[in-house]
Amino acid sequence: MRLAVISDIHSNFEALQSVLPQIDRDGVDAILNLGDIIGYNASPNECLELLWDRPVVSLAGNHDLALLEVSRAENFNIIAYQALLWSREQVKEGYLDFFRSLPITREGKGFIACHGTPTSTDAYLSYHFQGKRVFNYLRHLPDVRVCFFGHTHRRALWYRDIRGKIALISVRPYKMRLDKNCLYLINPGSVGQPRDGSPEAAYAVYDDEEFSIHFKSVPYDVKTAQRRILEAGLPEFLAERLAQGL
């Protein structure tokens, strides 16, 4: 099975609109969305419309949950909080049941998927001790070899070998073979607000038969996404950061 893994779309219609045709060309069997459809950018309903007719399996992100319950945004920074309040006014009522239906985790053949970590939509997985914690959690899931996560908006590939060594592997722009004796934590990066230093919309293609991961990115119309942010009256920094990928 070939799976396109996307995350952190964050209401960026132009980015999502560029990524989906590329995913079609990748010839995948399914699309797995690790959450945060809304927040930060200016096109929540347009993104939902784009996803609506596709067989996308989505999870809840922390911004998606805060859309339903604003108290969950209390620890957001001020810019994220302002964008969330704006999103709450924009998202059409008809989509709210969809957000209520989103699961926190999802398991598939040999993998588990989550937004932050398998036990929290808000927790970040950036440092060694955080990776170790998640690998320890995976011990309770003997069939799982891969955990997909998002939330940091940065591509990442962690492994744990049979001796228990945990380390990051540099993400490469070509298909990377995985080792069946290792466990992996994989972050595909962000579609709508990448923070890898490149403005391109990021995602990944996972193949469970050849056991490989291919990190990909697609250029998109950043200028239009920025214009929509400014026209919506959202903080200017949200437009600036898109051009810089931060």
Instruction: Tell me how far, at minimum, the Cβ of 132 lies from Fe ion, in Å.
Output: 23
Shortest Å, Cβ 158 to Fe ion: 19
Binding-site size for Fe ion (CB under 5 A) equals 2
Residues with Cβ within 8 Å of 169's Cβ and at least 6 positions away in sequence, in order, are: 157, 158, 159, 176
* Interface with Fe ion (CB under 5 A), residue from 3, 6, 8, 19: 8
Closest to Fe ion by CB, 37 or 166: 37
**14 vs 36 by CB, closer to Fe ion:** 36
Q: Tell me whether residue 152 or residue 166 sits nearer to Fe ion (CB atom).
A: 152
Query: Given the complex with Fe ion, which of 8 and 14 has the nearer CB atom?
Result: 8
DSSP string, 8-43: --TT-HHHHHHHHHHHHHHT-SEEEE-S--SSSSS-
Measured from the CB atom, the residue of 31 and 183 that comes closer to Fe ion is 31
- The C-alpha atoms of residue 19 and residue 110 are separated, in whole angstroms, by 25
Residue placing its CB nearer to Fe ion in the complex, 38 or 134: 38
Taking the complex as a whole, the smallest distance from the CB of residue 215 to Fe ion amounts, in Å, to: 18
- Token pair belonging to 177: 């073979």
Taking the least distance from each CB to Fe ion, the nearer of 34 and 112 is: 34
* Contact status, residue 33 vs residue 6, Cβ threshold 8 Å: yes
From the list 30-38, 88-96, 199-207, 218-226, the region that binds Fe ion by CB under 5 A is: 30-38
Residue 10 Cβ vs Fe ion, minimum distance, rounded to whole Å: 6
Smallest separation, CB 40 to Fe ion (Å): 8
User: Applying CB under 5 A, which of residues 14, 36, 196, 200 lies at the interface with Fe ion?
Assistant: 36
| Beta carbon of residue 169, minimum distance to Fe ion (angstroms, whole number) | 23
Residue pair 71/117 in contact (Cβ under 8 Å)? The answer is: no
Contact between 64 and Fe ion by CB under 5 A: the answer reads: no
Say how far apart CA 233 and CA 83 lie, in whole Å.
Answer: 10
DSSP 3-state of 208: coil
Rounded CA-CA distance 115/156 in Å is: 14
Least distance to Fe ion, CB of residue 202, Å: 12
Closest residue to Fe ion, judged by C-beta, is 36
What six digits make up the tokens of 95?
């989509």
In our burial notation (b when 16+ CB lie closer than 10 A, e otherwise), range 159-181 reads bbeeeeebeeeebeeeebebeee
Residues engaged in binding Fe ion (CB under 5 A): 8, 36
